């Protein structure tokens, strides 16, 4: 076979055929998608409206194409505000790419696209302090009275019951935090009662006092550290110490390598046999997750990536959860053989 027959270029199709294998190449001014935020998972914000996204990485107006690699479905959305993720889809956008019953896309491809042949949008500059953020249209937002902390953070809810309270991965138990929703001007002052993976994570009762109807996320939040009684504000937390079992809980000693000290564990909303996803350990790793508040434990195998040390699917989470809670704040995670 001659060399001319083995190497054929089609200007129409834009493909180079090498030994019978077609390799697509860019020609002219064809836009090449910019794959960003490699390894990120994608979840939903619980917000209504036309398909859209929020992002902590890209500015308002950026167009992002999100492809669910587990089912091949894709959606292209415009960033309309900030969040704590590379991309967080609202309900309408998430519905176009979700798998039934799943609230998380673990295998996602995120591309920055321009939608019209121009240059892709530049990454966002660091978030400005929330103390200077403007409130939503018509929102009456009083000025800050405490020390503004965690600028640019979003605030979500833990699914936990009880009196209004918060958990935090930044501040120790006993710290008082004032959370203001800048989109509606509502505020709540709560005391940190345990650890979490966020600057502040509100329980159900606290979140209800500041939420907008139908939304499970406060994207424009001002978080202040206050003392509630004229004293000095609490100092930031020291690195988390190993969690101790709750009083009355029968917790067997660790038998594996304790990893991810101080991590919280939540659920992915995914079905199937008990399993976990992880952003720390590779597929095939066995992890034992113990809920130190009730002594229950489950051993699961990592079957894909996520943004957490350990993210349990529904079946695994059910074996260790406390009724009505969607978060294990006092967890012991062990890597076992």
The pLDDT tens digits of the residues spanning 73-95 come to 999 999 887 766 678 888 889 99
Average pLDDT value for residue range 190-211: 84
CA max distance for the chain: 88
Topology of domain 34-113, CATH: Barwin-like endoglucanases (2.40.40)
Ranges in the chain annotated CATH 2.40.40.10:
34-113, 130-226, 257-336
For residues 86 and 54, give the distance between their C-alpha atoms in angstroms, rounded to a whole number. 8
- Whether 135 has a pLDDT exceeding 90, the answer reads no
**String of DSSP letters for 39-104:** T--EEE----SSS-EE-SSS-TT-EEEEEETTT--EEEEEB-S--SSS-EE-HHHHHTTPPTT-SE
Over the stretch 13-31, which tens digit does the pLDDT of each residue have? 333 333 333 333 333 444 5
Report whether 90 contacts 49 (CB < 8 A): yes
Query: Is 2.40.40.10 the CATH classification of the domain at 130-226?
Result: yes
Q: What is the pTM assigned to this prediction?
A: 0.47
- Token reading at 316: 């695994």
pLDDT over 70, % of the chain: 71
Where b means 16+ CB within 10 Å and e means fewer, 295-307 reads: ebbbbbebbbbbb
Mean per-residue pLDDT, 64-69:
91
**Euclidean distance between CA atoms 172 and 192, whole angstroms:** 7
Angstrom distance (rounded) from CA 24 to CA 226: 58
Residue 78: phi and psi, rounded to 5, are: -105, 135
Please tell me the CATH superfamily of domain 257-336, with its number.
RlpA-like domain (2.40.40.10)
């Amino acid at each position: 076979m001659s060399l001319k027959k083995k190497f054929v270029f089609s200007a129409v199709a834009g493909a180079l055929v090498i030994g019978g294998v077609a390799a697509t190449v860019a020609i002219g001014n064809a836009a090449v998608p910019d794959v960003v935020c490699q390894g990120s998972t994608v979840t939903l914000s619980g917000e209504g409206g036309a398909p859209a996204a929020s992002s902590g990485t890209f500015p308002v107006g950026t167009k992002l194409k999100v492809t669910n690699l587990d089912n091949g479905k894709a959606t292209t959305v415009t960033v309309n505000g900030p969040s704590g993720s590379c991309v967080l889809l609202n309900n309408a956008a998430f519905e176009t790419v979700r798998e039934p019953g799943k609230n998380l896309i673990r295998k996602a491809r995120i591309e920055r696209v321009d939608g019209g042949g121009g240059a892709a949008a530049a990454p966002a500059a660091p978030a400005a302090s929330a103390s200077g953020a403007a409130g939503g249209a018509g929102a009456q937002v009083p000025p800050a009275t405490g020390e503004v902390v965690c600028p640019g953070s979003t605030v979500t809810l833990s699914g936990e019951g009880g009196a209004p309270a918060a958990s935090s991965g930044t501040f120790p138990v006993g710290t008082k935090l004032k959370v203001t929703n800048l989109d509606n001007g509502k505020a709540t002052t709560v005391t940190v009662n345990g650890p979490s993976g966020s600057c502040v994570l509100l329980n159900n009762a606290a979140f209800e006092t500041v939420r907008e109807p139908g939304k499970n996320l406060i994207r424009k939040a001002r978080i202040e550290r206050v003392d509630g009684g004229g004293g000095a504000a609490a100092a930031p937390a020291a690195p988390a110490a190993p969690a101790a079992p709750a009083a009355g809980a029968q917790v067997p000693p660790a038998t594996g390598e304790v990893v991810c000290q101080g991590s919280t564990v939540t659920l992915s909303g995914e079905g199937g046999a008990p399993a976990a996803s992880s952003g720390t350990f590779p597929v095939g790793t066995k992890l034992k997750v113990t809920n130190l508040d009730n002594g229950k434990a489950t051993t699961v195998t990592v079957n894909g990536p996520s943004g957490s040390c350990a993210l349990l699917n529904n079946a695994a989470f059910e074996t260790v959860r406390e009724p009505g809670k969607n978060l294990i704040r006092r967890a012991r995670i062990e890597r076992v053989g």
